[in-house]
Structure 1
Amino acid sequence: MAGTSSGMAPRVAVLMGGLSAEREVSLSSGRECAAALRVAGFQVIEVDCGPDLPARLAEIKPDVAFNALHGRWGEDGCVQGLLEWLRIPYTHSGVLASSLAMDKARAKEVYAAAGLPTVTSRLACREEVEAHHVLPPPYVVKPNNEGSSVGVYIVREGANAPRLAATMPEVVMVETYAPGRELTTAVMGDRALCVTDIITSGWYDYDAKYTTGGSRHVIPADLPQEITEACLDYALRAHRALGCRGVSRTDFRWDETRGLAGLILLETNTQPGMTPTSLAPEQAGHCGISFPELCRWMVEDASCNR
């Protein structure tokens, strides 16, 4: 993180909101991070990001940008490129890692090259997906470049090919359904924190993630030691293979009937939810790192050089 010449506390612009389908989630993350950063002693300016963002940043002249954006434009390398151009250090991953992780097909190629376990998947046009089964059911259909389980369809055995909403893109990701428990591991710098078991009454969709009572988190997850160690290892390897920095979170499904062979890496989130009760901050808290301390560490880790 760049220092300040005046000796005053660094000015941190918290970037939130934006134009993606995850706008409301981002606003929640941003407000919570802004409050925590004030507790940590920073000067904080909250920025609801729109097309005037370059002008706003030029006016604010922050020492650091805390990127609390989620979804497209904020999480896919776009705003990271802008911040690189303006030479403003920013939190989370850089341009390439952000772009790779957001593109599910490209991320799977990186995982495969790193020897990480994933399910069979392919890109397909929506016309093909709606006409017939492009993979044997059960399978999942989702946008290739969205997060927070936005636009996810599960096609069960015996079901017809899905009819996709008009908001779905023309090309989508289709992947074999991975049964089992929903697990997740956050990485902070060069350290995998722990494993959380996410308990829901069904699919861990957008509502389960963000509606009060939609899910329950068991931390640390009650798992065989072999599975815990594998989650920690795979999450750190995924973080490094993608070139992430700061905090990331990698999600898994585990079919316990198959042991280690049933552990599948789903995806890596380079900008996980950042409220005090979100999964990554919750894991940090379990490891003795308070939410303001986590936010401070992220500001101190900020960079526009990698």
Structure 2
Amino acid sequence: MMEQMAIDVGALGKVAVLMGGSSAERPVSLMSGQGVLEALCGQGVDAHAFDPSERDLSDLKREGFERCFIALHGRHGEDGTMQGALEMLGIPYTGSGVMASAIAMDKVMTKRLWQSAGLPVPRGVVLHRGALAVDHLPDELGLPLIVKPAREGSSFGVTRVTEPGQLAAAVALAAQYDSAVVCEECIVGEEVTCAVLGEGAAARSLPVIRIQAPGGNYDFEHKYHSDDTRYLCPSGLPEAEETNIQHLVVQAYRVLGCRGWGRADIMIRARDRQPFLLEMNTSPGMTSHSLVPKSAQAVGLSYEALCLRLLAAATLDTPPRLLA
């Protein structure tokens, strides 16, 4: 069971739940934010919705907000830009700081850091707009391949390529979302996800969730709208395998310098049960279909308690005393 924290709700002050935003993930963010807002208000927090695509950020300071719960996903919310703005305003916020947020949003930089730390990632190639030749990729990486934008989430622009003739269209689709396109070997096996709470040496993993989507296609529809996807928690994995994945995810989280919370997506290769890190989400979803709340519930941490715990941990990269 997850240790329960005694939190003085009154000391949290006036709270802005940042939701919506301008990224492709705006609809998901609105769902996440509404859930968080209701959970916080239900526990007596003075929380208010704040959509940065509709309001100026200076209103946060002018209206006396004392901390922010970031329920934004994707660009301008999860990529370090919002975190940087809040640093400038001196308003503590949930989740990772500027650098960790920016790195984790960029799948290319994330893989480079993980590789340098000796953590397992799929083999891949990065293509840049203006140099999108693809003929060599099947020979270099084999088939099937996963093609995706370097800086996007919620499966936007992602294609599973099974034939060489599909590659050009897949790369063109990903390039609509980002100037850098990641093409990597498709790890055939089981998809799992694992969340982490905390920071540094105190970071701890939550239980692993095993994902079973129809046809193995865990796309946007199956993530947020379909009831056909199964989320197994307990995962049903052998205990040693689950423990190994939890340890790997905490390592990955620490290598990126994450704090507050995060969720890593992993593929377990069927032929040898080797786990491979795919990406780290530093502002995970908090919708009715989202995975961090499901994992937290498995250790006795309710959705409401999770929201309150994350909010209480809101902080800045720069200590407030240095901003005075």
The residue number in structure 1 matching 2:157 is 151
Give the structure-1-normalised TM-score.
0.92
Pick the aligned partner of 1:290 from 288, 295, 302: 302
Determine whether 1:67 maps to 2:70.
Answer: yes
Pick the aligned partner of 1:197 from 210, 220, 224: 210
User: Does structure 1 conserve the Cα–Cα contact (< 8 Å) formed by 2:92 and 2:316?
Assistant: yes
Structure 1 stretch displaced more, 49-58 or 110-119:
49-58
Residues in 2 aligned to 1:158 and 1:145: alpha-carbon distance in whole angstroms: 24
Structure 1 stretch displaced more, 178-187 or 158-167:
158-167
The residue number in structure 2 matching 1:255 is 269
User: Does structure 1 conserve the Cα–Cα contact (< 8 Å) formed by 2:123 and 2:184?
Assistant: yes
User: Does structure 2 conserve the Cα–Cα contact (< 8 Å) formed by 1:130 and 1:161?
Assistant: no
Determine whether 1:15 maps to 2:24.
Answer: no
Determine whether 1:173 maps to 2:182.
Answer: yes
Gaps of 5+ in 2: 1-6, 319-324
The residue number in structure 2 matching 1:281 is 293
The residue number in structure 2 matching 1:26 is 29
Residue 40 of structure 2: SS of its match in structure 1? helix
Residues in 2 aligned to 1:94 and 1:53: alpha-carbon distance in whole angstroms: 21
The one-letter amino acid paired with 2:24 is A
Residues in 1 aligned to 2:282 and 2:166: alpha-carbon distance in whole angstroms: 34
**Deviation of the 1:136 alpha carbon:** 3.0
The residue number in structure 2 matching 1:162 is 168
Q: CA RMSD in A?
A: 2.0
**Deviation of the 1:130 alpha carbon:** 5.7
Gaps of 5+ in 1: none
Residues in 1 aligned to 2:41 and 2:128: alpha-carbon distance in whole angstroms: 46
The one-letter amino acid paired with 1:193 is L
**Deviation of the 1:256 alpha carbon:** 3.0
Give CA deviations for 1:32-88 in whole Å, capped at 9, x if unaligned.
Answer: 000000112210110111274323212322111000000011000000000000000
Identity level (%)? 40
Residues in 1 aligned to 2:257 and 2:56: alpha-carbon distance in whole angstroms: 26
The residue number in structure 2 matching 1:42 is 45
Structure 1 stretch displaced more, 44-53 or 266-275:
44-53
- Structure 1 residues 8 and 240, CA gap change in structure 2 (3 angstroms): closer
Matches within 5 A, 1:104-123: 104-123=107-126
The one-letter amino acid paired with 2:120 is P
Determine whether 1:185 maps to 2:197.
Answer: no
- Structure 1 residues 297 and 13, CA gap change in structure 2 (3 angstroms): same
